[in-house]
Structure 1
Amino acid sequence: MKREQKCVDDRRNQILDIINNNAEIKVNELAKMLNVSLITIRRDLQYLDDKKLLVRTHGGAVMAETEAIEEDELSLYRRLIAQFAATLVEDEDTLFINTSRNALQMLKYVKSSNVTAITNNGKVMNHDYEASLNVILTGGELRYPKYAMVGDYAIRSLQTVFAKKAFVGCSGITPDAGMMTEIANEVSINEIMVNHTTTEVYVLADHTKIGKRSGFTSCALDKIDYLITDEKAPEEVLNIIRNKGVKVYQVHKEEF
């Protein structure tokens, strides 16, 4: 396992060296140079893009500007939220993950054994996670740029599935409207995931989402067990959410 990870790390370092010397490079060129598949290169580029070490372009990648390499505060809080959420996953858990980037990010921090994640987030195919994590895609109509799987096929595939826990992100959450999304065709998917969760529903939302009203309500607060946010979230809004029965976790910079 360690040797395998070293090979992956070495290859990614080679990719950074190549792009640094070429300004821009195409996926197929990298695949030929490193003698690996296009899927492997795309996964590597997504990982390096997530780390802000390069910027993915259509069909390739370019080197990130030095300023972009430094993690900004919002990205830091989102990473801390994802890391904390991952500690709530236990051995043998089955999880729902929606199209939230933050919810998807938590999967790479999950260390528990024999965990199954059911998701309509097509980006999971380019993300790294432990070999012991099983991923099931709902299928459905693929919508860009979020790579969200939606529509009747995705809905039907979830109607007979139940998960122990749900980790879902949102574009906003308010005490009166609940968890919200900007994308209308994601509402039904989110509703099924929440309603088909047998134990806890966790909402992952950084401080910019707290108290923010968005386009469409995915679920009311009484369907949510826990809200995971950060130390900059407005306390007055959090207090109202707490009073409605939702437990609130706030991550702090010094915790991780």
Structure 2
Amino acid sequence: MNDDLITQRQREIYEFIANANVTTIQEIGKALKLSTSTIRRDVKVLEKERRIQSFHGGVLANTCYGSFTERVTKNQESKHKIAEAAVSLVEDNDFLYIGSGSTTYEFAAMLGRRTDLNGVMIACAALNIARCFVGKKQFKVLLPGGELEAEDESMASKMTIDTINRYNFTKAFLGSIAINAKNGFSVPRLDFSELKSAVIKNSKEVILLCDHTKVGKVSAYKVCSIERIHTLITDFYAENETELQKITDYHVKVLRV
């Protein structure tokens, strides 16, 4: 994403939206002293740039913007520590679901290097995740099928969800775009919400992997309430401690790395 493609005014609008998590055209206008028509035009530009998403009644910052390569390299040290902690939770004979995303990709790559595990099955709806286990005979990998997203090699179609509903996972490792105590786990796309909801419904234990930039955020489509998450693995960030304590109050185990 190139900052040269937007104006200073559009940058100020984006920063206001990002700081607010979710806001409205009216709130932006009042704060920045801009007309509704100007904001609507700039929102269309920012949405085309994939920086924000608009929905009925409001707008929110797109915390998953950029190519997969850009997301992998962002907060890389934190993602490595989160993945390392997650890998330690995998046991013999687990049936895992690994969701798509940059942090879960780091987790899958690290898990693929473990040679001490036996009887582990893995389902994933992303080709880049599946590739982490090519040639690793200690793992059995299942691809649920469905329509492939060209950009991030993921699948979230009805066929994908129908197949997921036939599985019983011991552990689901999911990446997070946004999580907070009040709104739970949310994502920017309806199809991703439906897929992740199906995974959670069919999982004994749900483990969320997210760096500190996703904590306290909210996105357009709710996946589940906070009570459905068993473990949250995140990196330490002092400004998130109040929100993490609220999450802990819902009996979610929070691992800070």
Normalising by structure 1, what TM-score?
A: 0.67
Q: Match of 2:253?
A: 247
Which amino acid in structure 2 is aligned with residue 219 of structure 1? C
User: Deviation of residue 109 (structure 1)?
Assistant: 2.2
- Judged with a 3 Å threshold, the aligned counterparts in structure 2 of structure 1 residues 164 and 83 are, in CA distance, closer, same or farther, namely same
Identity of aligned residues (%): 27
Counterpart of 1:116 in 2: which secondary structure?
strand
The alignment status of 1:224 with 2:229, answered yes or no, reads yes
The alignment status of 1:114 with 2:119, answered yes or no, reads yes
> 1:54-108 deviations in whole A, cap 9, x for unaligned?
xx99xxxxxxxxxx9xx97811000110111000000110101111221232122
Counterpart-to-counterpart distance in 1, 2:141 and 2:193: 22
Counterpart-to-counterpart distance in 2, 1:168 and 1:99: 7
Counterpart-to-counterpart distance in 2, 1:97 and 1:175: 23
- Judged with a 3 Å threshold, the aligned counterparts in structure 2 of structure 1 residues 242 and 145 are, in CA distance, closer, same or farther, namely same
- Of the three residues 190, 194, 197, the one matched with 2:200 is 194
Counterpart-to-counterpart distance in 1, 2:109 and 2:131: 11
Q: Match of 1:86?
A: 87
Which amino acid in structure 2 is aligned with residue 108 of structure 1? A
- Of the three residues 148, 157, 164, the one matched with 1:158 is 164
Which 5+ residue runs of structure 2 have no aligned equivalent?
A: 1-67
User: Deviation of residue 125 (structure 1)?
Assistant: 4.0
- Correspondences of 1:134-213 after superposition (within 5 Å): 134-198=140-204, 200-213=205-218
Counterpart of 2:213 in 1: which secondary structure?
coil
Counterpart-to-counterpart distance in 2, 1:125 and 1:92: 18
Which 5+ residue runs of structure 1 have no aligned equivalent?
A: 1-55, 58-67, 252-256
> 1:140-187 deviations in whole A, cap 9, x for unaligned?
111131211111110111111111011001111011111111122111
Counterpart-to-counterpart distance in 2, 1:174 and 1:237: 7
Counterpart of 2:185 in 1: which secondary structure?
strand
Q: Match of 1:127?
A: 132
Counterpart of 1:149 in 2: which secondary structure?
coil
Counterpart-to-counterpart distance in 2, 1:135 and 1:242: 33
> 1:88-145 deviations in whole A, cap 9, x for unaligned?
0001101011112212321222222221111111212443564312211111111131
Counterpart-to-counterpart distance in 2, 1:151 and 1:72: 28
Aligned pair count reads 184
